[in-house]
Structure formats: C-alpha cells, structure tokens
Chain A
Amino acid sequence: MRQSEHTWFALFAFTVLAAAIYTPASAATHSADFMRPLGPIADMQRTELFWATVIVMVAILPVFVGVPWILWRYRRSNDKSEYAPAWHFDTKLELVMWGVPAAIVVAFGIWLTQAVFRIDPYRTIDAEMAEGMNFEIDGPPVVVDVVGLDWKWLFIYPDEGVASVGEMVIPVGRPVSMRLTTDTVMQSFMAQGLAGQIYAMPGMVTRLNVLAEREGTTVAENTQYNGTGFASQRAPARAVTDAEFSAWIDTARAAPPLDDETYAQLAKSGDVAAARRDLGRTGSGPLAFALPDPMLFGRIVGRYRTGAPVPPEQQPGSHSYDPEAARLPATDKGMSDGND
C-alpha cells in the first residue's frame, strides 16, 4: 500500500519534529522567562502549564496512539480484521466519549478557577497570600507606575521620587504594586519572569502585582503591536537586593528632573536611544530621572479625561504630535473622577 507508507512517513517525520521542538531551548539566554521564573506568580503559572498539560494528555493520548493503530489495523487490504459496516452506536462508548472529556474539564475548571483567584493581577501581595502560596515577604511594598509610550516604557516610582525609561528595577522580596496606563495607543505589559501580561490603555488604569524571590533579570516587553518601533519596546526588568535598589534610587535622584517639558519631549515616538538624543543626554542605555511631581502618572491618565477634545497635535504617538503644543492637565483630577 504505497499511500499508507506515505502516511507512515509523515507521522514519523512529525514525531521527530515534535520531539525536537520541545527540547528545552538552549541555555544561551540567562534572562528569566515563563520557563525560568523569578517569583511566586510566574512560578505558579508555570506549574499551571505543567498540570494542564498532564490533565489534557488523558484526553489526547488515545488519539495519538489510536489513530495510527486503527488506520493500520483496519486498512482495506487486511482481510483478517473485523468489518462491521452497520455498527453505529454503543451506549458505553458514548458514556466514555462524553464522560472523560467532561471529567477533564471539571478538573481543569477547578484548577484554573483557584489559580485565577489566587494570582489575580489586581490582588495585593500581602501576608495572607504569602502564606497561602508559601513564599516570603521581606519589606514594605513598592509602588511602580508604568506608562507605555511609543516605543519605550516609563517607570515612575512616586514614593521614591524617581523615574526610569528603558529599565525597571525592583527590590527582591518586596511586593511591587504596579498601576499601568499609556500615553499613546493601547499596549500590553509583560515581564514573563515575574508574571503574565496586562493591557495598558490611554485614559485608563490597570493593575499588576508582582514579587521577585531572587535576583535576576527578565524582559519587560510590550506585546500589543503599536507601530514601527514595536520590536524595540523591551526593557530589562532587574530584581536586585534592597541595598542595590536604594543605591539605584539615590543615583536616579541625582539625575535631571522629569518636568513637564522633559516629559513632552520624552513622549515623542521613538526608542530609548532616540529619547536620549531628544533630551540632549549623552551616553547610552536606560535613562534615569528625578521626579519633581509624584502626581505625574495621574496627570497622564487625566489627559484624556478632561471632557475636552484632545487634538492629534496633543496626543503622543500621533504623527502630528507637537511637544510644544501638548500640555498635561495641572492635576490628576481626571483620573480620580473615573474608575480604574
């Protein structure tokens, strides 16, 4: 049977490929990701992936094994096999067919529900959560406000009075409470080593809570296409010791301030290097700022919530954006008017 041989060859090739693909990626990268988490949330997500795979295998392994076997056993040229052309129903088989997937879905549903509640991105990381998930909290929470710009992330630390572009730094062991928005089109923030992603949208605030248990670096990236510089919107997210964090804060406090004029320039479309040029700063790598106004995040959200139209010249990310024309509202009243 020539055609059967073709089929068997295809099946074989496919199996080899599948095996090759799921060999863990080479260890060339050291940065943390979904498979190499830095903290308890990403850790739990990886565990979810593992168990979901195991549960679902119950339903799909019979297909992988059964289909080749049936095709071979009941090939037309095999006149030893049984032939039952009129057979079309079996109550027990029906029960298995519907029952097994249903049972799997019940297990899977329970599993996902507890996970979704446990690591809800909006859930504040506190002692109760730490106890439930068996990890340590070491120090008070850190607030990080994240603003998506085209094509870079601005990280604002309102309590520390600093800001950073192109790099997020967090202290190991302390809960990080993030508020996210954008000052352009929609984006999606993901730092795989810490937690999954959450959308960031202009005029709106979303939340994400993470905690790093060990030192390391992961990538804070945008996954929602937002124009030609999209691929460069990736910033290292570094989890460092408390001492290193304090040292980093001190350095940033000494950097030039992120005042309204600087922000208006920063918001222009371009990657971190372009921002550096626009701001007349030398060197390379991430940009640190002192933060004169801890309300900056709220004012950025409020830009779109004043009840007045915002013409394209005043919208960062628009082709006609003009830093001279664009002014943020004076207070963050717009944000507090609305819900998150």
Chain B
Amino acid sequence: MEMTDIFGRLSWADLVLLDVFRSPSVDTAVSSGAAWIMVLGAAAVLVWLTVAGRWGWLWRDWLTTVDHKKIGIMYITLGFIMMARGIAEGVVMRSYQATAYQGGAFLSEEHWAELFSTHGTVMIFFVAMPFITGFMNYLIPLQIGARDMAFPVLNQISLGLTGTGAALVMISLALGGFETGGWTAYPPFTGADFDPGPGPDYWVWSIVLSGFGSMFSGLNFAVTIYKMRAPGMDYLKMPVFCWTALCTSILLIFALPPLTVAGLMQALDRLLGFHFFTNDLGGNMMNYANLFWMFGHPEVYILILPAYGIFSELTATFAAKRLYGYRSLVMATMSIAVISFGVWLHHFFTMGQSPSINAAFGIATAIIAVPTGVKVYVWMATLWRGRIRMTTPMVYMTGFFILFTIGGFSGIILANPAINWQVHNTQFIVAHFHNVLLPGLIFGIFAGIHIWFPKAYGFRLHERAGTITAILWIVGFAMTFLPLYAVGLLGYPRRSAAFDDPAFLPYMYVSLTGAFILLAAFCGLFVTLWISIRNRDSLAVPLGDPWDGRTLEWATPSPPPPWNFPVIPQVSSLDAFAKEKAEGKPYVQPAEYRDIELPAPTSAGMVVMVSTTALGFALTWWIWWLAAAAAFGLVAYFFVRSFFEYPHIVIPAIEVQRVNEAWIEALHLCTPVNRDHEDDPRNRGHAATDMAIAS
C-alpha cells in the first residue's frame, strides 16, 4: 500500500507548524505562530476539560442539547472564537499595508493573499453568519412565545454544519494553507489549472458544507415563525426583530443555493475535470460571478436585517417609547428582502454589459436605499420625544447612526455605474463594505449582546466597561476604514500588496492606528465580560426584566427555564409585555399547569459535524477511503436512526409550577426599580415602567 493511498496528497511539507523551523523568517514566524496558537489553544481547552472533569458537562449540557437558547449561545461563541482570528488577521494586514510603500513589507505576497482571503471568508461566513444565526436562535422562540424551534434537531445539525465549515478553515491554518483568491474565490484563478490546491478545495468544502447549514437554519426559522407564534400573535403583532428574522430566513432559503451550486461547480471543475469556469472548452468565469453575487448581494441583507431588528428593539426600549412607524418598518424590511434579489449585478458593472442593463441595476440599487433610509428616519422618530438613556447599546446605536449613514452614502455613490467604474475593486470598496458591516451588523450584535446577555445569564454586563468598549469600536472603526475611502478614490486597488504613491502614507498610518484601537476594542469585550463576572452579584437581574423591556422574552426569569414559558402566552397586542406593564398588570399567571414535553438531547449534530468535517478534509486532500467512510457513516447513522422513534423528556406540571411560582414570589418580594436605578445593584430585573400611559 502506497502512502498516497492512506494520506492522499498530504505530506510533511504541508505542516505549516514546521515552516518557521524549515526556513526562519518573519513571514514563516507569523504563519507558523498562528498555527501554533491555534493548536496550543485547542490543546489547552482539551487539557482544561480533562483536568476540570468537564467533558460530561460539555457533552450533556451543550453539544447534545437541542435547546434553541443554548444553540444560540454556541453560535455566538463560535462567532467570537473565529472573530479573534479575523481581527488578528486584520491587524497583521493593516500593519503589512502600512509598511507596503514601494514594496518591501514583512510578509511574502503569497501569505498576504492568504490573509485577505481567510479574513474575508472567516468574517462573513464564520463570524457574521454565526452571530446573526445565534441571535435568531435565541430570540425567535422567546419573542413569539414558543418553546423551541419547529425542528429542534435540524437546528442542532445546522450548528454542526457551521462548525464543519469553521473547522476546515481552521485546519487550513496548520495544514497546507487556504486559497489566495479572496473570499469571493473567482475562477479561473482558483481553478485547478492555476491553483491545484489544497487552498481552493478548503474554501469550496467549508463554504458548501456550512452553506447547507445556513439554508437549513433559514427553513427552520421561517417555519417556526409561520407556525409557532403564540395564539393571538398575528403577523402585525410580531416584534420587529422577528420580522427581520423572517425576511432573513427567506433570504437564506433562496440565496444560499446559488452559492452552494457555484461551490459544487467549482468542485466538479477541480476534482472531475469539468469546464464550468475554466478558460478553455467553453468555460465561463462570468457565470461564476453571476451565481456568486446572486448569493452575495442578498447575503448583505441576510446579515444586516437582524441587526436592524435589534436596533428597532433597542431604540424603543431605551427611549422608553413605543416604536414609531411599526408598519413602515415592516414594509421597509420586506421591500429590502425582495429588492435585494434584483441588484446583484452592481458587483460587476465593469463586465462589459449594455448600458441599459447597467442603468437598470444601478437604479434598482438606488431604490433599495429608500427603505433603508426610511428605517433610519423611523429610529430617529422613535427617539424623538422619548426619554433617552445613554446606555451601552445606545452608544453603539449612536455610532451606527452616524457611521452607517456614511456607509449608505458611499453605497449610493457606488450604485451609479459611471462612478463605480472608477472605484470598483479599489480600497473604496473595502472601506464601503466594512462601513456597512461593522457599524451596521457588528455594532448591532454587540448592542444586542449588552441587552440580552442578562437574559441568558442572569446578570448585566458592566455598564462603564461596556461604554468604553463601544467608544473604542466607534473611534477604531472610523480611523481604520474612513481613510481607505480616500486612497480608494486615488486608485489604490484592494488586495494590493504594495503602493508607490507617497500620498497614501498618512492614510495608511491612521488606518494602522485605528486597527490597534479595534484590537483594543475587541479585548475590551472580554475585559467587560471579566469585570461583569467578578461583579455578578451586584449586577444580578434574576427577575428577568432589567431594561423595562417590551417583548415577551422579558416576561420570563433570567435565565429562562428550558421550557421558556410555563404555559404558552395569549397575545393581544404588539409589545404585549410593555402594554401589561403600562396598564399595571404584568405577569399574568396561569390558571392551571400541564406537563411539558421537550425533545430529548441527541448526538445527531455532532455526528454530522464530525463526519462532514472528515468528508471535507478528505475531499480537500484526495484521501478517498476517508471520504467514502465519512459519507457512508453519515448515511448509515441517519438510516439506522430513522427506525427509532425520537424520544422526548416530560417536565411534570408540578415542577413547572414550582419553578414559576418561586419566580413570581421573588418578583413580589422585590420593589420595582425605575429607570434612574437601571445601572444600580437595586435593579434585580423587576422594572417600574417609564411609560405612564398605555401604548
């Protein structure tokens, strides 16, 4: 038996960990160092799990759970782990470009290319996507008054597939390296003729496999929202976040397949010698660009819509006011979802199509700015005549307002093909999409974490640390990315390893400084968490409503019990909980309790994750026996599983009653606090509402 039969095309030379010993340089020190950090970090976690005897806890309480709240938390945790890598890469890249005047920077050009490719892939697919999926997981059932997702096991499998994609990208750090054609991976550069691998293969399999996970998530969320809303909750009584989640789900269902198909077509080109995107035999890379952006543009809205949902909830909450123009917001959200499928061509106005096509897509792109603008005005109107508390989420919101508007402005500029031709593929684009994704999506997520962390863990995050961190994010963002608009206008291409115009230097130095501030801001998140954990007793809000919240999830204890609600609530209006509080009769208690049936834990998600990771790894490295074994194992598991009825656990009515009545009693023992004492140990999560009259 040959070695290639066992290890495919994998050899010792592919072990990035050893690069620095084979040929010591700054370049290999960075690549090997990153690989060692990952390997040692993973080893440290394994050692800790073993020493602390936490394997059982990890397996029972987390990896096999089907509780949407825990799955949501795991998504967000995955997002943060991957974000650490993405930010580190970002700082290395900014350092590199700041020293790239007339070349002579400290990394090899190959390594530089790998950095911008992994940074984009990681940030979009394994930071932004897990963040929004995590939030939707945590919040949808709680906000619509349900106990779990429509398909709890599929939900766990989706997480497993996302984990597979992330794992493959991480493995590439230590074995063989990732592709170098950017996160968009345009062929023919990523085709077998120009890059035999394994880089593009890692990209293909991590994107394809995690893409299935995202599509399943979309189906799951959409069905959950369609079918499992509490009685009385009409569509127009749903919280705005659920509306944005519904639109995102629809986009996930329809936008992910083109990407998965494009990825599989690349795989066919690479593995089986097809000619979808090759130079010869009728292959056409333009078709790839089309398919990729048919996914890629709706993807932007997949990411941003849930953040809009969070901003909508938080303006109303922290202005102590009913949301202005709920129907306008819903309409705007839906229009964005629909129009987002009709604008993808603006990613390649430069491909030589006719002026009428360019004009049509330019106008469509401008049209999408109308509902987006309406949203910004709606939030302003919500704040108007409110009683605004400048909490951490509101600081993020302020940064969002100003910075995101600049991002929208540059977006409109780009919608005009005549201007786009001059700045396409330049740093202007880099500035633009960071400008919408960071202040738009990431600020929304962090604001959301400040709001809902107390819901998930029963204590608030430290307010001052949170505010300082938020300001670091705002300043860091502005310094890092706004200068890139200027050099982009002056023609500095994106992804370029060097520049020869000395006029760019000051911009690059400001940008580098900003990158370090962003790194500090990222660390600030963990400092905030650490300070908060140390002070968790004085920050505790077990009663569940620390912010004078408006929607159903605040009418549960923090953290909520696994069954969420003792009985499924009856809903009669928008912001039902706020209305009850304004009328002075919140916390309506059930007349009788019943047994609650919950789905039992399952290892399905882990089986899917392990087998698909093995499959993706095997197809990347041409280890055919492993690919066959992994595929067979996956099919066999589900085949055998289909013969058994899916087990449930039953929570007896008496237990539900005990838990619920203990909480109600604690509520009665605690004086409600008004908003002056929000950031105060007196705030135990029992809110005296600011809203004097019924909403």
A binds B: yes
Interface on A for B, CB 8 Å cutoff? 1-4, 6-7, 9-11, 13-14, 17-18, 20-22, 25-26, 28-29, 33-35, 42, 44-45, 48-49, 52-53, 56, 59-60, 62-64, 66-67, 70-71, 74-76, 81-90, 93-94, 97-98, 100-102, 105, 108-109, 111-113, 115-117, 119-123, 184-186, 188, 190, 192, 195-199, 201-204, 206-207, 219, 221-232, 234, 304, 307-310, 312, 315, 317-319, 340
CB neighbors of A among B320-369 (8 A) = 320-326, 328, 348, 350-352, 354-356, 358-359, 362-363, 366-367, 369
Chain B contact-residue range equals 35 or more
Quick one: which of B248-284 are within 8 Å of A by CB? 279-281
B366 (CB) vs chain A CBs: closest residue: A105
B491 touches A63 (CB 8 A): no
A186 and B507 contact, CB distance less than 8 A:
no
Q: With A26-B503, A94-B325 given, is the CB distance from A185 to B188 under 8 Å?
A: yes
With A29-B501, A71-B398, A105-B369 as contacts: A85 and B690 at CB distance below 8 Å:
yes
Is A33 a contact partner of B491 (Cβ separation < 8 A)?
Answer: yes
Cα of A318 to Cα of B328 in the assembled complex, Å: 54
Given contacts A45-B421, A202-B188, contact A53 B194 (CB under 8 A): no
Nearest CB of chain B from residue A301's CB, rounded to whole Å: 11
Q: Which of B389, B416, B479, B691 sits near A48, CB closer than 8 Å?
A: B416
B381: chain A residues at CB < 8 Å are: 90, 93, 97
User: In the complex the two chains form, is B193's CB within 8 Å of A312's CB?
Assistant: yes
- B426 part of interface (Cβ distance < 8 Å): yes
- Determine whether B385 belongs to the interface, using a CB cutoff of 8 Å to chain A: yes
Instruction: For the A-B complex with A28-B503, A102-B370, A234-B500 known, give 9 more contacts whose Cβ atoms are closer than 8 Å.
Output: A7-B471, A17-B510, A52-B412, A74-B386, A84-B386, A111-B416, A219-B491, A223-B493, A309-B281
Task: Write 16 A-B pairs (CB below 8 A) sorted by A numbering.
Answer: A6-B467, A6-B471, A7-B471, A29-B501, A76-B389, A84-B385, A86-B691, A97-B328, A100-B373, A102-B370, A116-B355, A190-B422, A195-B421, A197-B421, A199-B352, A227-B180
Given the interface pairs A4-B390, A87-B385, A309-B281, the reply to whether A186 lies near B186 with Cβ below 8 Å is yes
Question: For residue A75, which residues in chain B have a CB less than 8 angstroms away from its CB?
Answer: 387-388, 390
Query: Is B286 engaged at the interface, CB distance under 8 Å to the other chain?
Result: yes
B391 and A10 contact, CB distance less than 8 A: no
Cα A47 to Cα B373 in complex, Å, equals 24
CA distance A221 to B325 in the complex (A): 48
| Across-interface contacts of B475 in A (CB, < 8 A) | 10, 13-14
Counting CB contacts under 8 A, is B489 at the interface?
Answer: yes
Where the two chains meet, the residues of B that have a C-beta atom closer than 8 Å to any C-beta of A are: 100, 103, 108-110, 113, 180-182, 186, 188-189, 193-194, 196, 279-281, 285-286, 319-326, 328, 348, 350-352, 354-356, 358-359, 362-363, 366-367, 369-370, 373-374, 376-378, 380-381, 383-392, 394-395, 398-399, 401-403, 405-406, 408-409, 412-413, 415-426, 463-464, 467-468, 471, 474-475, 478-479, 482-483, 485-486, 489-491, 493-503, 507, 510, 675, 690-695
Chain A residues, CB < 8 A from B188: 185-186, 202
A201 near B285: Cβ-Cβ < 8 Å? yes
Contact check, B490 vs A199: say whether CB atoms are below 8 A apart: no
In the complex, how many angstroms separate the beta carbon of A168 from the nearest chain B beta carbon? 15
- A11 contacts B398, C-beta separation under 8 Å: yes
Chain A residues with CB under 8 Å of B498's CB are 231-232
Selected contact of B324 from candidates A2, A18, A87, A196, CB within 8 Å: A87
Residues of B within 8 A of A42 (CB): 422
A residues near B675, Cβ cutoff 8 Å: 76
The residue of chain A having its C-beta at the shortest distance from the C-beta of B100 within the complex is A231
Q: Could you tell me if B413 and A7 are in contact, using CB atoms closer than 8 angstroms?
A: no
Contact B383 A71 (CB under 8 A): yes
| B671 to A: closest C-beta gap in Å | 20
* Residues of the A chain whose Cβ atoms lie less than 8 Å from the Cβ of B499: 231
Which A residues are CB-close (under 8 A) to B493?
221-223, 225, 230
- Is the pair B422, A224 in contact by a Cβ cutoff of 8 Å? no
Distance of A40 Cα from B356 Cα, bound (Å): 21
A186, A188, A318: the one within 8 Å of B193 (CB): A318
Candidate in A48, A184, A223 with the most chain B CB atoms within 10 angstroms = A223
Pairwise interchain contact A48-B189, C-beta atoms closer than 8 A: no
A33 to chain B, nearest CB (A): 5
- Chain B nearest CB from A225 CB (Å) reads 4
B680 nearest CB across to chain A (Å):
14
B406 to chain A, nearest CB (A): 8
Query: Which residue of B362, B394, B409 contacts A60 across the interface (Cβ within 8 Å)?
Result: B409
* Minimum CB distance partner of B500 in chain A: A234
B418 touches A199 (CB 8 A): no
Q: In the assembled complex, how far is the CB of residue B426 from the closest CB belonging to chain A, in whole angstroms?
A: 6
CB of A67 within 8 A of CB of B401, answer yes
CB distance from A285 to the nearest CB of B (A): 15
Rounded to whole Å, the gap between the CB of B279 and the closest CB of chain A is 4
Give Cα distance in the complex from A22 to B370, angstroms.
26
In the assembled complex, which residues on chain B have CB atoms less than 8 Å from the CB atom of A117?
355-356, 359
Residues A97 and B323 in contact in the complex (CB < 8 Å), given A102-B370, A231-B498: no
Contact A21 B485 (CB under 8 A): yes
